[in-house]
Amino acid sequence: MDFKLLNFSKLQVISMKTITQNTTYLMFASIIQKILTFGYFIFIARIIGDINLGKYVFALSFTVIFSVFIDLGLNQVLIREVAKCKEKIITYLSNIFIFKILASAICFLIIILVINLLNYPLETKILVYWASGTMILDCLNSTFYAIWRGLQNLKYEAIGIIVYQVLVVLLGSIVLLLRLPLYCLFLALILGGLANFLFVLISLRKNALIFPKIILFDKKIIFWLLKVTIPFSFVIIFSRILSYSDIILLSTLTNDRNVGIYSAAFKLTFALQFIPGIFAASLFPAFSNYFISSKEKLIYIFEKAAIYLIFIILPISVISIILSDKIILGIYGIEFANSILVLKILMIGLFFIFLSYIIIPFLNACNKEVISTFILGIGMFVSIILNLIFIPIHGYIGAAWTATIVPMIMFCLSLFWINKIFSESIESILKRKELIKKILKSVFSVTVMGLFIFYLKSMILWFVLIFLGFIFYFIILFLTKAITQNEIKMILERIKKH
C-alpha cells in the first residue's frame, strides 16, 4: 500500500479530539440542506405547476428506487471496515468504486428498458434518463464520504452537503427564472453532483492520500463485501421501496397531475421528519447502554422520549390540519388547492411516523435488527398492496390514506415486539397514572390551542398564527404541569452522558 500510516494516525488523533465538533458540523449542514431543499421545492412547484412537478418528482423517485441495487449496503460495510482496518482502505474503496460503476451501467440499462416497457411519453423518458445521472453521482459520492465517516471526520461531508445544495439551488433557480426546459433542472442536479464528486475526491487525495485504483479490483473481495452487506441490503431495499413506491404507482396508475398534488403535501410532512430524526440519533447510544446496564432506566428513557415526541407532534398535526388550506395556498398557490385534503390526511399518519423514529432505533439497540427489518418488510408489502387497491379508485387521496395507514400498522407491530423485550408490557407501562395524566394534559392543551387557532384563523396571518399557537400550547403545558423545566434538563443530561 502506498499511503502513509503516519498520516492516518494523525487523522485519527484529530478526529477523536474533534468528533463532537464534526458531528455538530454535519447536523448544521443537514439542517441547512433541508431548509434549502424545501425552499427550492416550493419555488419549483410555484413556477412549473402541478403537472410538471409530478413529472419531476416521478423521474427522481423512479431512479432512486433503482439506486438500491447500486449501493446494496456497501457504504455501511465500508464505514465499518475502514474504522476496523485502515490499512485496507484503498483496497476496499477501489473494489466498491469499480463495482458501483459497473452496477450503475447495468442499472441505467435496466431503467431504460423498464421506462420504455411502461410506455411513458417521450418527455418523461428523457427526464428519467437525466435523473439517472444524478442517481449515479449520488451513489458514487456516498462511497467516498463513507471513507471520511470511517475515519471519524465529518467536516468534509458537511462542507460537501452545503456546497452541493447551494450550487443546485443557484443553478436550478436560473433554470426556473429563464423558463428553460424541465430537463435542465436535472442538469443542475448533475452539475452540483459533479462538483461534489470532485470536492470529495480531492479532499481524500490531498488530506488522506486516498485514491481508488483499478488494478486493485479483486472479484473475491467484492464477493466477500457483497456477502457481508446482505443484512444491510434488505433494510435499504425495504425502506427505499416503502418511501417511493407511492409516487411510482400513483404515476403509473393515474397521471402526472395527481403526483404533483400528492407530492406538494407530502413534502411538507417529510420536511418535518428531521425533528424525530435528530431525537432518535441522540437517544440511540442511551438505549444501547441501558439495554445492558438497566432495563428499568431503558423503559424510563423510552417512556420519556415517547411523551416528549407526543408533546411535539400533537400541536404540529392539529395546527396543520386546521390551517391546511392557508398553508397550502400560501406556500404553493391556488393551483395546488387539491393538496389541502392530502395534507390533512398525511398529518394523521405523521403522528405514528414520529413515534416510529424512536421505536426502530430502540429495537436495534436491543439487538432486534431482524425484527425491525421484518417490520420494514411488512410495511413495504402492505404499502404496495394498499396503493394498488386505493390509487385506481381514489387517486392521490388513496395514496395519502395508504401513507397514513401503513405507519399505524408498523407502529402496532413495533409495540408488539417491544412487549416481547420487557416482562412488563407497553400497555401496562402506558397505563401508569403519571403518564396517563401527561398524555391527557397534552390532549387538553392541544384542544384548547386548536380552538384558539380555529377562532383566529380568519383574523391573523397563518404563519403568525402558527407561531402564536405553539407559544399558547406550551404555556398551557407548563401551566398544567404536563412538562416542567426540571424534566427537560434531566432528560437532556441523561442523553448527554451517553
pLDDT in tens, 238-269: 888 888 889 999 999 998 999 999 999 999 99
pLDDT greater than 50 at residue 344: yes
Cell digits of residue 394: 381514489
- Same domain as 313, residue 207: no
Judge whether residue 150 has pLDDT over 70.
yes
Is 238 domain-assigned? no
240: in domain? no
User: So what's the pLDDT on residue 282?
Assistant: 63
At residue 289, the pLDDT reads 67
Q: Are residues 202 and 74 in the same domain?
A: yes
Output the average pLDDT for the chain.
82
- List of long-range contacts for 482-485, beta carbons under 8 Å, 24+ apart: 482/311, 482/437, 482/438, 482/441, 482/442, 482/445, 483/308, 483/311, 483/438
In a domain, 45, yes or no: yes
Section 313-338 average pLDDT: 91
Among residues 205, 228, 251, the one where a domain terminates is 228
Amino acid 427: pLDDT: 47
Maximum average pLDDT range among 152-161, 341-350, 443-452, 461-470? 341-350
Q: Check whether residue 152 and residue 26 sit in a common domain.
A: yes
Average pLDDT in the 102-123 region? 91
Residue 283 lies in a domain: yes
Contact 79, 228 (CB under 8 A): no
Q: Examine residue 272 and state whether it is found in any structural domain, yes or no.
A: yes
Domain termination site, one of 209, 228, 247? 228
pLDDT score of 52 more than 70: yes
Proportion of the chain above pLDDT 90, given as a percent: 33
Asked if pLDDT for residue 16 goes beyond 50, the answer is no
Does residue 326 have a pLDDT over 80?
A: yes
Q: Higher model confidence: residue 307 or residue 339?
A: 339
How many folded domains does the chain comprise?
A: 2
219 and 275 part of one domain? no
Q: Report the pLDDT value the prediction gives residue 488, as an integer from 0 to 100.
A: 61
248 domain residue, yes or no:
no
pLDDT at 33 (0 to 100): 85
266 and 342 share one domain: yes
Q: In this predicted structure, what is the pLDDT of residue 421?
A: 66
Mean pLDDT computed over 146-173: 86
Q: Would the pLDDT of 497 be above 60?
A: no
As a whole number, mean pLDDT of residues 20-30 equals 68
Domain span at 167: 5-228
pLDDT-derived band of residue 78, with 50, 70 and 90 as boundaries? confident
* Residues 102, 192 share a domain: yes
pLDDT at 288: 65
Identify whether residues 171 and 300 lie together within a single domain: no
89 neighbors 160 (Cβ within 8 angstroms): no
Q: Note whether residue 453 is domain-resident.
A: yes
Select the more confidently predicted residue: 183 or 152.
183
pLDDT beyond 80 at 80: no
277 and 353 co-located in one domain = yes
Higher-pLDDT residue of 18 and 400 is: 400
Residues 223 and 355 occupy one common structural domain: no
103 and 62 within one domain: yes
Q: Which of 206, 228, 250 delimits the end of a domain?
A: 228
Same domain, 322 and 220: no
Q: Residue 15: its pLDDT value, please?
A: 38
Question: Is position 323 within any domain?
Answer: yes
Where does the pLDDT of residue 7 fall: very low under 50, low under 70, confident under 90, or very high at 90 and above? Answer: very low
Quick one: 142 and 63 in the same domain?
yes
Is-contact 109 264, C-beta < 8 A? no
